[in-house]
A and B are shown apart, each in its own frame.
Chain A
Amino acid sequence: GAVVSQHPSRVICKSGTSVKIECRSLDFQATTMFWYRQFPKQSLMLMATSNEGSKATYEQGVEKDKFLINHASLTLSTLTVTSAHPEDSSFYICSAIGRSNEKLFFGSGTQLSVL
């Protein structure tokens, strides 16, 4: 089946630094990618939707200057958490849809801890 690779799986960084998370579709072309965030004991929260070659669409309340999303190719989307703060510590997961537009495939997630 289709595979989505997300990297890194875990990152610890200092407050004020930026962190980049990569999401790659390994064997299909991902026309749309979704980025989610999950707080402890809660469900996933959709942060943004990105279509290849165009700007991401952010959900209400998500700071687009804080969470930079780039979907420059059909196999790669990146989420950059800029000037990270402890409140940005969370679990981030990406998912992708291919040209068949039928099914989501999920990355394995990234646990971000900001000290």
Chain B
Amino acid sequence: AQSVTQPDIHITVSEGASLELRCNYSYGATPYLFWYVQSPGQGLQLLLKYFSGDTLVQGIKGFEAEFKRSQSSFNLRKPSVHWSDAAEYFCAVYGQNFVFGPGTRLSVLP
């Protein structure tokens, strides 16, 4: 069975600092991988996705993620965080079905 873990429940960074949100998955083959962001009280917005090809994927809002097959990871990064990035971030995996990670809450200090 496939699964997704996001080891960090809550991360706090200062505005302007770099960010990395971790995502690890378990699946027998290479899945499709997604990162979504959820602003308070709202639904999901797709940040980026990986299906195949270049393992470094660029997304919206300055985010990028790197697929590392050897580590079964798909970590999300941003070089300089803005206060508006404070939100809940979900990693998701599509293999046999769509599975979401538990989410990581990002807080941004001024």
Contacts and interface: CB of A to CB of B under 8 A. Distances in A.
Nearest to A104: B38
Interface string A70-94: 0000000000000000000001010
Given A41-B51, A43-B34, A104 B98 contact: no
A44 B40 contact: no
Interface footprint category on B: 20 to 34
Chain A CB count within 10 A is highest, among B32, B90, B100, B105, for B100
Interface residues of A, number: 22
B94 interface: yes
A63 to B, nearest CB: 19
Contact of A104 (B32, B49, B88): B88
B97 interface: yes
A1 interface: yes
B110 interface: no
Nearest to A92: B98
Contacts of B103: 103-104
Interface in A23-37: 32, 34, 36
Interface of A: 1, 32, 34, 36, 38, 41, 43-44, 46, 49, 91, 93, 95, 97, 101-104, 106, 108-109, 111
